[in-house]
Amino acid sequence: DQQVKQNSPSLSVQEGRISILNCDYTNSMFDYFLWYKKYPAEGPTFLISISSIKDKNEDGRFTVFLNKSAKHLSLHIVPSQPGDSAVYFCAACSNSGYALNFGKGTSLLVTP
């Protein structure tokens, strides 16, 4: 079952523009959300997270927005750089759990 959904398998953005990656979740028990970035032949690398008590968290060029009523979160990258080209995974966990539940990922390509 897909408790965390990333409906866009790929996204192409020009360098300097904004990249917006979207994620939806179905499990109401999820209250902590994360974004991971993955390059080929490497493991996922933590990028940014947000607790359900917040609706926004910012770290440099990366901002995550959470809309709890819509069960939706998004990752904004501004400005996008060619080095940002990677697969981005949305993940979620619940208050009582250890497991990260991942989406299928969105492959971001930032073109010069």
Partner 1 sequence: EPEVTQTPSHQVTQMGQEVILRCVPISNHLYFYWYRQILGQKVEFLVSFYNNEISEKSEIFDDQFSVERPDGSNFTLKIRSTKLEDSAMYFCASSETLPRVSEQYFGPGTRLTVT
Binding residues vs partner 1 (CB under 8 A) = 2, 4, 32, 34, 36, 41-46, 49, 51, 89, 91, 93, 95, 97-105
Provide the minimum distance between the beta carbon of 53 and partner 1 in the complex, in angstroms, as a whole number: 11
Provide the minimum distance between the beta carbon of 25 and partner 1 in the complex, in angstroms, as a whole number: 13
Half-sphere exposure of 61 (CA within 13 A, CB side): 12
Cβ proximity to partner 1: between 5 and 79 the closer is 5
**Residue 99: phi, psi to the nearest 5?**
-80, 140
Cβ proximity to partner 1: between 42 and 69 the closer is 42
Evaluate the CA torsion angle 80, 20, 22, 7 in order and state its sign. Answer: negative
CA 30 – CA 90 distance, rounded (Å): 12
